[in-house]
Amino acid sequence: MSLQKGIEIIETISGPIPINEVASAIIAVVGTADMGDLDAIKIVRTADEAEALYGTNGTLGEAFDAIYDHVQTLTVVAIRVAEDGTESTQIANVVAGLKRIEDAYGEYGLFPKIIIAPGFSHKIGVGAEMIAIGNKIGAVSVIDAPETATPEQAVTFKGAFSDYRAIVTYPRVKTLNNAGQVVATWLSARYAALMAQVDKNQTGEPHHTGYWCSPSNYVLKGVVGVERSIQYNPRDNDNALNYLAGQGIVSVLNDGSGFRAWGNRSTAFPSKSDSLTFIPWRRTMDIIEESIQFFTRQFLDKPMFTRPNDLATSMIGQIELSVNDFLRSKVGTALVYGKCELRIEDNPLINLANGKVKYHIQATPPVPIEHVTYEAEVYVPGLEIALNQLLGG
């Protein structure tokens, strides 16, 4: 061994590494327009950009009007498909356009978290494809019930989409077109835009908002009416609006202060009754899990550990510390509890020897208040108390 004389510095990195949260307010929309490249993925961020690319007509024009009524700027993944008079061909065009959504990450480095196809999602085969794509990329799909459906028929339609990431909206809403005329438009686009608005905390209401919050009970912008009146009585839970919400359908409440989205549950409810049927629970877990997944990719192919007596400077230790730091940073907003743990019993020798490491994550999103009960007691003795106070007793 040669003589070493002088000062040597050996540098190591310890402690957690920041995890970047993936964006939740990205909408993918597939539809028709008078202009624009066919079957091409385009990124749109403003109403002006949308009009320059696609004009104002077609289902894309309607969707962009709904989206930018709610937010001034928003990243939208748009795919224009050819318009065909034959329904079967049109559906095939839309389905092919939906399949292109998966390419958004390869082309632009992002995955949309909300998928819509207004004007087509109610047609056979389209909703199922939306859900299939959504489950692949961790996005929710907002599907319209047919415009002619009664509440009971809307529930029957929704029965074909029992999925945590599927949301069925009903009925259509009335809005103003470019000529100032009242027209019926699909609720899915307005609801998706409201979700993005809540995600971006731009509702203008004095409530804490974010992707972990339900869009229910927030005002749908640009809506002047509903195509089909949905009966509601706040003193009687047995009404049409609550019937729809209880069947996992998002509808519209008119309470005199605006037309509000109404309903917290995905189409998985009520056939499933666990907390993941809450729309914000599924979306929150998608954002948390995807953020951790993208963060962890930088450690692939690196040594698990080189110093078995120093977890803080090993790769597997840094991953655990970083994920725990990220989860703790979400407590108070997106989570009420979060923990990541590397367990010996989850990592047998055969897995370690094959380069496999397993972590156990616990995460608890906040639960939306869905029902409040007040027990009102007619308290007669209060008369005596009031009289004593009056007489200074």
In this structure, the strands spanning 75-80 and 41-44 are: antiparallel
Interval 363-367 mean pLDDT: 97
Q: pTM here?
A: 0.93
What's the pLDDT at 179?
Answer: 86
pLDDT digits (tens, 9 = 90+) for 84-110: 889 999 999 999 999 999 999 999 999
Task: Categorize the per-residue pLDDT at 1 as very low, low, confident or very high, splitting at 50, 70 and 90.
Answer: low
Tell whether 333 is covered by a domain: no
Tell whether 83 is covered by a domain: yes
A 10 A CB-CB count for 359 gives 17
Dist. CA 62–CA 56, nearest whole Å: 7
What's the pLDDT at 4?
Answer: 67
The tally of domains found in the chain comes to 1
Tell whether 273 is covered by a domain: yes
Tell whether 66 is covered by a domain: yes
AA identity, residue 50: A
Task: Categorize the per-residue pLDDT at 231 as very low, low, confident or very high, splitting at 50, 70 and 90.
Answer: confident
Task: Categorize the per-residue pLDDT at 224 as very low, low, confident or very high, splitting at 50, 70 and 90.
Answer: very high
CA 367-23-318 angle, to 5 degrees, is 85
pLDDT for residue 126 is more than 80:
yes
Tell whether 393 is covered by a domain: no
What's the pLDDT at 14?
Answer: 62
Contact 193, 67 (CB under 8 A): yes
What's the pLDDT at 355?
Answer: 95
pLDDT for residue 13 is more than 70:
no
The 8-class DSSP code of residue 219 comes to B
- Reference 281, options 215, 163, 365; nearest CA is 365
Look at the chain and count its residues: 393
b/e per residue 248-259 (b: at least 16 CB within 10 A): bbbbbbbeeeeb
Give me the domain span that covers residue 178. Answer: 26-281
b/e per residue 39-68 (b: at least 16 CB within 10 A): eebbebeebebbbebbebebbbbbbbbbbb
User: Alpha helix locations (H) across the chain?
Assistant: 47-54, 58-70, 87-99, 104-108, 126-137, 151-158, 187-199, 240-246, 279-296, 315-330, 349-353, 382-390
**Distances from the Cα of 337 to the Cαs of 23, 141, 213, in angstroms?**
21, 27, 16
Tell whether 14 is covered by a domain: no
The 8-class DSSP code of residue 298 comes to G
CATH assignment at residue 62: 3.40.50.11780
Interval 53-70 mean pLDDT: 96
pLDDT digits (tens, 9 = 90+) for 132-158: 999 999 999 999 999 999 999 999 999
Tell whether 169 is covered by a domain: yes
- Reference 17, options 323, 387, 241; nearest CA is 323
AA identity, residue 302: K
Tell whether 206 is covered by a domain: yes
What's the pLDDT at 232?
Answer: 86
